[in-house]
Amino acid sequence: MKNRLSRIIKPKDGRTVMLAVDHGYFMGPTTGLEQLDKMVLPLLPHADTLMLTRGALRNYIPADTDVPIVLRVSGGTSILNDELLHEGITVSMEDAVRLNVAGVAFSIMVGAKYERDTLLAFTEVVDEAQSLGIPVIAVTAVGKDMARDAKYMALASRIAVELGANIVKTYYVDGFEKVVESCPVPVVIAGGKKTDEITALTTAYNAIQAGAVGVDMGRNIFQAHDPVAMIQAINAIVHGNQKPDEAYQMLNRSQNARYSRR
């Protein structure tokens, strides 16, 4: 368990840049990931872990790629369905072990109609993963009509921990310190919908300042104008303690240099 956790959260500084490209499990061919390998492989030198589904891992990522994998093991509904938040277990732990993963991720839906189903399925995953020494990341998904505030995020995150999560993935909100303070396991933030680069960098910076150990970010990286420059800038915030404006300047320099070479 500790060895796998140290492959996800880097022992040198206790931080992590997780690249999330699991969106296809409910969004299909998401913008930027239509040909997942072309997008993702150039980003991997700047990512500490890669979060994706087993289908994407099998079909797009060469077996000799040296990046710790966090495997999405929940799903079962799509963006076309009103029951979007009703996820169940989609991968056996046997297959997760066979795929040599560093961790697994499961979405829980606290406060949504199917809360009980997702929480009980989550504990099944925890039981099996625990017996195999595999860390479980609880993704505290938020429904369309649910409040995104510190009180709710703290509630969902703490429930995840009490049920056995080793890492909690949640969304950055004002007063994020409150979420981190009452969550005794490492917290990472999702990036959420694509926004402008400086806003995404500032969110990552604020989350780290509030005590998050890193990001598990997708669209704000792979839908950026220059995804490689963006993940480098995020990396500079998470591991290099850079401020958002410094990272943004770095992003612009790197972007300009790369485009002038073309």
The CB-of-65 to ligand 5RP minimum distance in angstroms stands at: 20
> Within a 13 Å sphere around the CA of 171, how many CA atoms are in the beta-carbon half?
17
* Number of chain positions touching ligand 5RP (CB under 6 A): 14
Closest approach of ligand 5RP to the CB of residue 87, in Å? 9
191 lines the binding site for ligand 5RP (CB under 6 A): yes
Residue 23 found at the interface with ligand 5RP (CB under 6 A): yes
Between 90 and 220, CB nearer to ligand 5RP: 220
Burial bucket for residue 49 (CB in 10 Å: 0-12, 13-18, 19+)? buried
Closest to ligand 5RP by CB, 188 vs 260, is 188
Residues 215-254 within binding reach of ligand 5RP (CB under 6 A): 216-220
CB 49 within 8 A of CB 68: yes
Task: Provide the minimum distance between the beta carbon of 24 and ligand 5RP in the complex, in angstroms, as a whole number.
Answer: 9
Q: Are 20 and 217 in contact (CB under 8 A)?
A: yes
Q: Binding of ligand 5RP at residue 20 (CB under 6 A)?
A: yes
Cβ neighbour number for residue 104 with a 10 Å cutoff: 27
**Segment 84 to 113, residues that bind ligand 5RP, using CB under 6 A:** 107
Of 240, 234, 207, 202, the closest CA to residue 218 belongs to 234
* Residues with a known catalytic role: 169
* Coil, strand or helix at 108: strand
